[in-house]
A and B are shown apart, each in its own frame.
Chain A
Amino acid sequence: MPFWLEIVINIIFAYLTSLGFAIINNVPRRVLNLAGISGIICWLIYWLAMQANMGRLLANLFGSFAVGILGIIFARKKKCPATVFYIPAIVSLVPGVPAYQAVRELTAGNLNCASDAILRVIIVTGAIALGMLLSNMCVEIFFRIKKIYK
């Protein structure tokens, strides 16, 4: 499959995923489209970082960092809480595969593989949370500096 087609597929699917989760979680109608767009950007950054062999932790951190910044920008633009954008966008980073693997290995009795997968879940969730915190911090610092130089 050519590279550009992969990118197109990833963009469309990331948009659809975020939109789907936005509808399940009852996001306000006026921000549905923006939630999908932040989902696209989050997933593209994660996916490109994974293609560049940066490793799971860094890729998740970058992805959630982008979501944090975008969420705050969109929230200021649309005057609604930033969580509205975080939840649909972050869903494609959430460690669903390792969580499923952990359970599967547990039921099969392979405790070593299961504990590996559980550790991976913990590391990825930690990376996501850390990325969002870092983005919040950066935005706060940015506004403080802007205030000083006004």
Chain B
Amino acid sequence: MSREGSGQNRYRYRAESEMLTYMLTLERPSPEQLINYGRAQKYAALKSSARAIRDQLMVWIQEQGLAGGVARVGEPTVFNTLFVTSTRGVARRLSHAPGVVGIRPADEFKVDLFDADELPPAEEDAESDSPD
């Protein structure tokens, strides 16, 4: 199945008004700022930084009149990311919001669980498994 037109380019083909989920990469404290922190302090500092940017973003969204195009702004985490469900048009604007470094589509995806029982054995191994 070719990728083009196979339904795997949903973000490309969706209507402007459709709500999609995006991952925003945020500014974060530099490693130097965190160097003398213990884990608990690092956790608190990174979370607090992401929360401040989220709060600032909420205000910015209101100020820019974009609230109608935003369905959800996720919770801040220590990974300097925020997940936002919005229209494509708003997503483009969000990339210029204060504290935002980048924006990428972030839909769900399948993972592979690596248990192998149903895979066919290689021929040489199949032979070596024989009672002989």
The judgment on whether A and B are partners is no
**B contact residues vs A (CB 8 Å cutoff):** none
